[in-house]
Amino acid sequence: MKLAGPAALVATLLLCACDVTKGKDELANSPQEMSRILEACSNGTHIDPQECSNAKSVENSRNLEQSLGR
Instruction: List Cβ neighbours of 22 (8 Å cut-off, separation of 6 or more).
Output: 30, 33, 37, 51, 54, 55
Q: What is the pTM of this model?
A: 0.71
In this prediction, residue 32 carries a pLDDT of 96
3-state secondary structure of 37: helix
Angle, alpha carbons 12-15-20 (nearest 5°): 140
In this prediction, residue 1 carries a pLDDT of 47
Map out the domains of the chain as residue ranges: 20-67
In this prediction, residue 70 carries a pLDDT of 73
**What CA–CA distance (Å, rounded) separates 58 from 51?**
11
Q: Which residues of the chain have pLDDT under 50?
A: 1, 13-15
